[in-house]
A = this chain, B = another copy of it.
């Protein structure tokens, strides 16, 4: 038999060579590793070394007949690969050699190759025509450690909160009737308030911890119970309470904040109108100061000017109403006024009309309603007057003279809510991914005709590709949002405008990501994903609206893009504009000079996995899009086009910039956080999530990079292959990765996840 022509030393190498040459992605540096090891392997004769090295020549790969001979040699040994061994390929090779030559020593050099090539059984188990018992998931990483890293400095709070969610009041169930559902959710909110969680973000004087970051983490974990609970909680404490805390002054705090935190005062946040959703500045509700009575008169002027979609509208005693404040006949712009809605018997007060919005696609445990005001008078002191007040002598006064700036300062205080919405969306994605991955680690379908057992869903490359980049993105967005909330809460950064731009962008891309992920998970679970009991269906309904509320994603991306352009905007129509463009043009050219053909076709693993490459690619895109955008706008304006029209004409360009900017921001922020971690295997694993995220995102926009010549065809294909390969590499750990999200067992009720 031909196989016996191999010495036992050579034979041990054959499974390795078979793996190396069956792989489409063998790189020069990988070959170098093998070459060096062979040279140093003292068990080999010079002749054996030369034979092996001749098999390694990339210019002269083994012929198919040679590959087949190797394959037969391996198959005929009847040895089986055992994936759970410490060095599975080395051990397997050893057994193959032993089959032909009798007991053979374990070759340390092969172990060295196995470790340094970083190849794992799932790379090559398909190559051997032997029956392999798949371990459904590896235990190399400890999910508890990952969870600990994700929780960071908030671990104690989060652990305690998760334990609180183990109470029977939070037991998941199907609630089809909206009245029942709303009452259950109201009870849950009150329960959490009773435990002190409602006031979490308020000052200590009002029962709180001043802990907005902790609040955001709670918000995320609440999603594991139910979306309606999360949103109702957010309306009561974040929006209603938040408007008192951030737009009101001490008098308001003293009078309302403690009660709000305890839910003894239920309130709503009445901003959106039927006719005005995204365009808050255009709302029509008026708040007219009447000097004679020293009161403010709240009024809904027209048919479509009612407050719309107001959460908590049916349970509330009071509303924080946004209206055009008119003092002495002058419109001072949008301000918030506290307006009592109901009396102690929960009867509507005179002049107030509330109507139920009815059933929705999701969040049916939240009581959304429409509100009309018919000349409703409230005391002057009900104006939340931090940024603008009516003085005792009936005059309007504000520290911020510019009405525009005043408006945006008021809205800016609500940016925290947007971070929380993104967090809640992320939680929805984490939950759905956990269910889908756990299902894929159990569910089998189809098989090779010679195998007894069908294959696990997760062992299909298409299934790995549909889920793994989404899991990696969840890690990236988690840390990005952590950092964003930290910056938002940082008192040393009084100018919140940069953060506003950043949050606008992140909220958009993360809530879109969340919806896509949940949909992908639904489909990945087939019909099982469609049953309410498996939880993905509700998430789909609930998270859907996150792309719209707290700022429509499209409008927010335009805002983000305009933020990026803002340094330019100030220069529009002025001579200085051209010089700014010139400076940016120069910087861009500097960047561009580095894109030589060698760079744009660099495809080795070291380069593609390098953070510098990812950062450069993201940064190049943002800058290039900014530059071309500014140029287009400038040309339009030079031709005499009004700037509103010019911006309309470049709208799709703005959206592209908004997305590019936000993706870059998420990645950079993530890397910044991970770099601070102590060195260990978990840190390496998290970096790998970053790599998959970055390559996946670059891949998604490959057409743009190709158009720009930033990457060439070869590189574009290499990136696609690397994404697929990373998904396969992470296959043994995907179970640990979703367990690392730390979703409590008592929340994870989906039967298919068990």
Which residues on A are within 8 Å of B, measured CB to CB?
A: 21-22, 64, 67-68, 71-72, 126-127, 129, 174, 176-178, 272, 275-279, 282, 308-309, 357-362, 444-450, 454, 460-462, 465, 515, 519, 522-523, 526-527, 529-533, 536-537, 540-541, 544-545, 547-549, 552-554, 635-636, 638-642, 644-645, 648-649, 651-652, 655, 699, 702-703, 706-709, 713, 716-717, 724
Q: Known pairs A129-B640, A448-B642, A540-B544. 15 more at Cβ < 8 A?
A: A71-B640, A176-B176, A277-B445, A358-B533, A359-B531, A360-B537, A460-B648, A461-B649, A462-B554, A519-B544, A523-B547, A526-B548, A527-B545, A527-B548, A702-B707
Q: Do residues A652 and B359 form an inter-chain contact, with CB atoms below 8 A? A: no
Contact partners of A68 in chain B: CB under 8 A: 638-640
Q: Do residues B174 and A176 form an inter-chain contact, with CB atoms below 8 A? A: no
Contact partners of A71 in chain B: CB under 8 A: 639-640
Q: Which 7 A-B pairs have the closest CB atoms?
A: A361-B537, A71-B640, A702-B703, A706-B706, A448-B644, A703-B703, A359-B532
Q: Which of B67, B309, B465, B554 contacts A640 (CB 8 A)?
A: B67
Q: Do residues B724 and A652 form an inter-chain contact, with CB atoms below 8 A? A: yes
Contact partners of A129 in chain B: CB under 8 A: 640, 642
Residue pairs across A and B with Cβ atoms less than 8 A apart, 23 shown, are A22-B639, A22-B641, A64-B635, A67-B639, A68-B639, A126-B649, A176-B177, A278-B446, A278-B526, A282-B446, A282-B447, A358-B533, A359-B531, A361-B541, A461-B649, A519-B544, A523-B547, A527-B549, A530-B544, A541-B541, A702-B703, A707-B713, A707-B716
Specify the chain B residue showing the minimal Cβ separation from A281.
B446
Cα–Cα, bound, A272→B445 (Å): 12
User: In whole Å, how far is A329's beta carbon from the nearest beta carbon of chain B?
Assistant: 21
Choose among A522, A552, A703 the residue with the greatest number of B CB atoms under 10 Å from its CB: A703
Contact partners of A549 in chain B: CB under 8 A: 527
Q: Would A360 and B448 be within 8 Å (CB), given that A129-B642, A640-B68, A724-B652 are in contact?
A: no
Q: Which of B450, B515, B552, B717 contacts A526 (CB 8 A)?
A: B552
Contact partners of A362 in chain B: CB under 8 A: 530
Q: Would A72 and B278 be within 8 Å (CB), given that A272-B527, A361-B537, A708-B713 are in contact?
A: no
Cα–Cα, bound, A703→B358 (Å): 45
Q: Do residues A279 and B445 form an inter-chain contact, with CB atoms below 8 A? A: yes
Q: Tell me how many chains of this kind the complex includes.
A: 2
Specify the chain B residue showing the minimal Cβ separation from A549.
B527
Contact partners of A724 in chain B: CB under 8 A: 652
Q: Do residues A449 and B64 form an inter-chain contact, with CB atoms below 8 A? A: no
Specify the chain B residue showing the minimal Cβ separation from A364.
B176
Cα–Cα, bound, A72→B549 (Å): 42
User: In whole Å, how far is A543's beta carbon from the nearest beta carbon of chain B?
Assistant: 11
Cα–Cα, bound, A708→B716 (Å): 10
Cα–Cα, bound, A447→B281 (Å): 11
Q: Do residues A644 and B176 form an inter-chain contact, with CB atoms below 8 A? A: no
User: In whole Å, how far is A321's beta carbon from the nearest beta carbon of chain B?
Assistant: 18
Cα–Cα, bound, A308→B359 (Å): 30
Q: Do residues A126 and B552 form an inter-chain contact, with CB atoms below 8 A? A: no
Contact partners of A648 in chain B: CB under 8 A: 126, 460-461
Q: Do residues B64 and A639 form an inter-chain contact, with CB atoms below 8 A? A: yes
Contact partners of A638 in chain B: CB under 8 A: 64, 67-68
Q: Do residues B709 and A713 form an inter-chain contact, with CB atoms below 8 A? A: yes
User: In whole Å, how far is A219's beta carbon from the nearest beta carbon of chain B?
Assistant: 20
Cα–Cα, bound, A596→B79 (Å): 53
Q: Do residues B176 and A531 form an inter-chain contact, with CB atoms below 8 A? A: no
Q: Do residues B359 and A174 form an inter-chain contact, with CB atoms below 8 A? A: yes
Specify the chain B residue showing the minimal Cβ separation from A632.
B24
Specify the chain B residue showing the minimal Cβ separation from A22.
B639
Contact partners of A651 in chain B: CB under 8 A: 460-462
Contact partners of A709 in chain B: CB under 8 A: 713
Contact partners of A461 in chain B: CB under 8 A: 648-649, 651-652
Contact partners of A553 in chain B: CB under 8 A: 523
Contact partners of A450 in chain B: CB under 8 A: 642
Cα–Cα, bound, A465→B650 (Å): 12
Q: Do residues A446 and B279 form an inter-chain contact, with CB atoms below 8 A? A: yes
Q: Do residues A532 and B64 form an inter-chain contact, with CB atoms below 8 A? A: no
Q: Would A527 and B277 be within 8 Å (CB), given that A361-B540, A639-B71 are in contact?
A: yes
Specify the chain B residue showing the minimal Cβ separation from A538.
B361
Specify the chain B residue showing the minimal Cβ separation from A646.
B126
Contact partners of A178 in chain B: CB under 8 A: 176
Q: Which of B22, B176, B272, B717 contacts A359 (CB 8 A)?
A: B176
Q: Would A127 and B358 be within 8 Å (CB), given that A277-B526, A648-B460, A702-B703 are in contact?
A: no
Cα–Cα, bound, A22→B635 (Å): 10
Cα–Cα, bound, A360→B536 (Å): 10
Cα–Cα, bound, A498→B127 (Å): 33
Cα–Cα, bound, A103→B466 (Å): 67
Q: Would A532 and B641 be within 8 Å (CB), given that A176-B177, A526-B552, A706-B703 are in contact?
A: no
Q: Do residues A530 and B360 form an inter-chain contact, with CB atoms below 8 A? A: yes
Cα–Cα, bound, A545→B454 (Å): 24
